[in-house]
Chains A and B, each alone.
Chain A
Amino acid sequence: MAEAIRRRWGHFRRQPVFTGFCLFMAVLALNIIIQTPAKFFTVSNFRILLSKNMPLILTCLGQSVLMMCGVLDLSTGIQLAFVNVIAIMLPQELGVPVGLGWACALTGGVLISLFCGFCIVKLRLPALLTTFSITYIIKGVNVLIMGEPQGKVEKIIYKTYDSVLFGFLPFAALILLAVLLIWQYIKRTRYGRHMYAVGNNPRNAYAVGINPERVQMKAFLIKGFIVGLAGLCLTASNASGNPLQAEEYGIRSLSACMLGGMNFGGWGTLSCGLFGAGFLVIVQNAVYYLFNFLTKAIQGLMINSYWQNLVSDTIIFLGLLATIITAKAQRETLKQGFVKQLKRGEKYGG
């Protein structure tokens, strides 16, 4: 019995998700202590946590799908705003039925993701810089469609999104479960295995008869769908439109995936992205309660939203730094993967 447990444990330790899981559990414990268990383990707390952070969690899942194939997308964040803008503006300006408008928004998310995929996969441009520039393009398009933050969502939509089914299952969790189920299916198909092969080494994958370009484009398609869902979640949870929001989700999701133990190409699973996202979410939550606690405990201490923003951005930065610890074993591969993202061209000219 003990032998079996030890073997299981040893097996689990070698899983990509191990570091992410440990980090997540550590901050979860910390958060429960700060927030007190009685207040943490309530349905409404879970509902708020999930419905507010579902866009970020889904973005991280999308990013980890890409990273599995050895590519990445920094413009994921602003793509959420793009979906949000379409979902608000189509019904408001053109009188399109809400359902159809939202379907169009989802399609728009997929299309814009495919555009990124085209630039990176077909044109073979360096992923990091290209998607960083594409951020500017999408930002421009967003503001062209919607000049300033405006619009509203019908009450039934955000009520449904915030609702709790059967007294314990938040609606947002249902979306997450659906995405994870779809992924469980994709992972088991032939395509799922091709993703790892291409991520590991596109040249070798090509040699054994896999079309790397098609596999990577399909990854962008899946990511586009997930990001489209994330954008709709963002619309439902904010109940309004803002063309310039969520831009930092791109780098945040990258940071989360790396924290979760994700690596470029052939290493890591979707749960890496999930635990990485969970880590960021829980840390943010814990910081919020810590600040609340501090303002109550210390008289005359005023903390404005600027401080909160500073702390949350510092956490992204520290999260990136923490990859030294988490990705220790795979650090060299991670580094090389990034070099691949950064420089693709050969030397040219003189």
Chain B
Amino acid sequence: MGSGLRIRRFVKYNRPGMALVIALFLLLITVLINPKSLNINTFGSILVQTMLLSFAAAGQTMVVISGGVDLSVGSVMSMAAVITTGIMQGQGGRFAQVILATVAMGAAIGLLNGVCAVRVGLPPIVITLAVSYVVTRLQYVFTGGMPTGVAAALFKKTVQYRIFGLIPAATMYAVVIWALAFFLIHRSRFGKQLYLTGNNESAARLNGINTRKIRVLTFVLSGVFSAVAGVLGAGYMGMSQCQLFDNYAYNSLVAVIVGGSLFVGGVGSYFGSITGSLVMIVLSNGLTVLDISQPVRNLVLGLVMVILLTLYNRAKPIRQ
């Protein structure tokens, strides 16, 4: 096999590997333009943020593989962060309550999304967008626009502390959550059924899979994963605001697509989504280092998505 062909095959079929290459390339550009940005602290923060985004992307991956889109990830995360600081109020020993409350909230919103998208038959993108508006408004109503409280000191440390100044302590959460997501998507019965459902729903149904249940379940799991990501995000930030993590909805979606999942469903992997998250975080880190303002960032993010869609999601021409 010639090396040219091998490279072409790599670009075409190994999207997670491609994402890693892009991430390295972006990092290199950032360092070349601004050599000062190359320090151990930057790497630490890139790692933590990648973990946070990959937690949010775990649920998004499942939803995309099943053929849907979940845009309520961001608002669920913000809501979870608001609940976290609200319950903790800076005191330790309330972690169990926080997890219970946020996971219940995430699962409830996910269930709402799932039932509306699957049972009612409305497009997931529209329904989750509408739900995310409602959830955002709820944050304002509950907190009066000003969330109170901070995360507990010990909990903050478990997310923010850097072992040897580089490896974030959040890795221990990551090990658990990544393992869980890997198991769910790639090793469990649910995962197999998920791929089949996304690939060809009627064929899956004819094979005796309860496709509706699977699709509702993906939305519920997405809600739960984003709720957990929101709790950890509150630990990372130390405090919370309304709409704090709203951009995670779009970022997680782009990360999942960069990592090789397709909107048509049935294709994708969680490893790809993690590498996709790395690309997104390195990109946003680069934009920060280069001192690029928020509007231009929005522009870049929008363009990235349009380019991705152009590369991988074009329809066939009508005249055929």
Seen from chain A, the residues whose Cβ lies within 8 Å of a Cβ on chain B are 119, 123-126, 128-130, 132-144, 202-203, 206, 212-213, 248, 251, 254-255, 304, 306-307, 309-310, 313-314, 316-317, 320-321, 323-324, 331, 334-335, 338-339, 341-350
Complex CA–CA separation, A350 to B268 (angstroms): 8
Does B297 count as interface, using CB distance less than 8 angstroms? yes
Q: Which chain A residues lie closer than 8 Å to B317 at the CB level?
A: 124
CB-based nearest B residue for A340: B315
Complex CA–CA separation, A135 to B307 (angstroms): 15
| B 302-318 binary contact with A (CB < 8 Å = 1; else 0) | 11011001101111111
Q: Which chain B residues lie closer than 8 Å to A306 at the CB level?
A: 137, 140-141, 144-145
Are B309 and A125 in contact (CB-based, < 8 A)? yes
Contacts A129-B125, A346-B316; A313 near B137 (Cβ below 8 A): yes
CB-based nearest A residue for B317: A124
Q: Which chain A residues lie closer than 8 Å to B262 at the CB level?
A: 345, 347-349
Are A349 and B260 in contact (CB-based, < 8 A)? yes
- B108 CB to closest chain A CB (Å) equals 15
What's the tally of chain B residues with a CB closer than 8 Å to chain A? 57
Seen from chain B, the residues whose Cβ lies within 8 Å of a Cβ on chain A are 12-13, 15, 67, 69, 71, 116, 120-127, 129-131, 133-134, 136-138, 140-141, 144-145, 250, 260, 262-267, 294-303, 305-306, 309-310, 312-319
Are B318 and A203 in contact (CB-based, < 8 A)? yes
Are A143 and B13 in contact (CB-based, < 8 A)? no
Q: Which chain B residues lie closer than 8 Å to A126 at the CB level?
A: 263, 309, 313, 315
Are B295 and A134 in contact (CB-based, < 8 A)? no
Are A349 and B12 in contact (CB-based, < 8 A)? yes
Contacts A313-B134, A343-B263; A144 near B296 (Cβ below 8 A): yes
Contacts A123-B314, A347-B264; A136 near B140 (Cβ below 8 A): no
Q: Could you list 15 examples of A-B contacts with CB < 8 Å?
A: A119-B306, A124-B315, A125-B310, A125-B313, A125-B315, A129-B305, A143-B295, A144-B295, A202-B318, A255-B126, A307-B141, A317-B127, A317-B134, A348-B267, A350-B267
- B13 CB to closest chain A CB (Å) equals 6
Complex CA–CA separation, A115 to B253 (angstroms): 23
Q: Which chain A residues lie closer than 8 Å to B313 at the CB level?
A: 125-126, 129, 343-345
Q: Which chain B residues lie closer than 8 Å to A324 at the CB level?
A: 120
Contacts A128-B126, A313-B134, A335-B121; A140 near B263 (Cβ below 8 A): no
Q: Which chain B residues lie closer than 8 Å to A331 at the CB level?
A: 121
Contacts A320-B126, A341-B123; A139 near B137 (Cβ below 8 A): no
Contact of B116 among A119, A321, A339 (CB under 8 A): A321
Q: Which chain A residues lie closer than 8 Å to B121 at the CB level?
A: 331, 334-335
Complex CA–CA separation, A22 to B295 (angstroms): 43
Contacts A133-B306, A203-B318; A128 near B125 (Cβ below 8 A): yes
Contacts A126-B309, A254-B126, A345-B312; A134 near B302 (Cβ below 8 A): yes
Are B134 and A314 in contact (CB-based, < 8 A)? yes
Contacts A128-B125, A140-B297; A317 near B130 (Cβ below 8 A): yes
Complex CA–CA separation, A142 to B293 (angstroms): 13
Are B123 and A128 in contact (CB-based, < 8 A)? yes
Are B125 and A139 in contact (CB-based, < 8 A)? no
Are B299 and A137 in contact (CB-based, < 8 A)? yes
Are B309 and A133 in contact (CB-based, < 8 A)? yes
Q: Which chain A residues lie closer than 8 Å to B314 at the CB level?
A: 123-125, 344-345
Complex CA–CA separation, A170 to B197 (angstroms): 54
- B74 CB to closest chain A CB (Å) equals 13
Q: Which chain A residues lie closer than 8 Å to B144 at the CB level?
A: 304, 306
CB-based nearest A residue for B311: A348
Contact of B134 among A144, A310, A339, A344 (CB under 8 A): A310
Complex CA–CA separation, A348 to B250 (angstroms): 23
CB-based nearest A residue for B133: A313
Beyond A130-B305, A251-B130, A251-B133: 15 further Cβ-contacts under 8 Å?
A123-B310, A124-B314, A126-B315, A136-B299, A137-B303, A138-B302, A140-B296, A140-B299, A141-B295, A314-B134, A344-B314, A347-B267, A348-B312, A349-B15, A350-B267
CB-based nearest B residue for A346: B316
Complex CA–CA separation, A305 to B264 (angstroms): 40
Contacts A123-B310, A306-B141, A341-B123; A143 near B265 (Cβ below 8 A): no
Residue among B131, B144, B250, B263 with the highest chain A CB neighbour number at 10 A: B263
Contacts A321-B120, A348-B262; A137 near B298 (Cβ below 8 A): yes
Are B133 and A320 in contact (CB-based, < 8 A)? no
Contacts A124-B317, A128-B125, A350-B267; A143 near B309 (Cβ below 8 A): no
Q: Which chain A residues lie closer than 8 Å to B120 at the CB level?
A: 321, 323-324
Are A347 and B130 in contact (CB-based, < 8 A)? no
Q: Which chain A residues lie closer than 8 Å to B295 at the CB level?
A: 139-144
Complex CA–CA separation, A343 to B69 (angstroms): 11
Q: Which chain B residues lie closer than 8 Å to A251 at the CB level?
A: 126, 129-130, 133
- A90 CB to closest chain B CB (Å) equals 19
Are B294 and A143 in contact (CB-based, < 8 A)? yes
Contacts A254-B126, A345-B263, A347-B264; A310 near B137 (Cβ below 8 A): yes
Are B301 and A343 in contact (CB-based, < 8 A)? no
Complex CA–CA separation, A119 to B314 (angstroms): 10
The 9 lowest CB-CB distance pairs between A and B, nearest first, are A140-B299, A136-B302, A344-B315, A137-B302, A143-B295, A133-B305, A140-B298, A345-B313, A310-B137
Complex CA–CA separation, A350 to B131 (angstroms): 33
Q: Which chain A residues lie closer than 8 Å to B303 at the CB level?
A: 137
